[in-house]
Amino acid sequence: MEVEYIKSLKEAKKLKVKDLAEMTGIPESTINNFLSRKTESPSFSMMSKLCIAVGGSLDEMIGLKEIVEKKAEEQTSKELLSSITDIYKEQIENLKERNNDLKEDKKNLTKEKLCLYGIIVALIILEFILGLFA
């Protein structure tokens, strides 16, 4: 949903990736990865910056506008406010989960890096020992 929304507004405004990069401070490669769906969990900050750069609405981008409009037809003002609050709470929870997933991925990458460093050190020591016997 987010990618198509950003793409359509980008194309409508005839913006290039370079333009978006300059407007948002996000590297072109990161924007290209997002637009080609290579980024599995784009940050909310990045999506917000891109949305603002293309002149979009965060509500529209994440689909809240349609949900709110549909609910407005069905409910009274008080019920609508409650529904909107619930929707925002749900979106916040989704973003928190996304953030937690990213933190977990970062931890796993750090552990993998430490393992690789250990292997490299072990190989260096092994090479040194083998060099003593040569």
Query: Is the Cβ–Cβ distance between 20 and 53 less than 8 Å?
Result: yes
Give the start-to-end residue ranges of the domains of the chain.
1-59
* Residue 63 per-residue DSSP state: T
Amino acid (one-letter) located at 33? N
Choose among 101, 103, 6, 96: nearest CA to 50: 6
Q: pTM of the predicted model, to two decimals?
A: 0.49
pLDDT, one tens digit for every residue, the chain (134 residues): 688 888 888 999 999 999 999 999 999 999 988 888 888 778 888 888 888 899 988 777 777 767 767 766 666 777 777 878 888 888 888 888 888 888 888 888 888 888 888 889 888 888 888 888 76
**Which pair of structure tokens corresponds to residue 99?**
């953030």
Domain 1-59 has CATH 1.10.260.40: yes
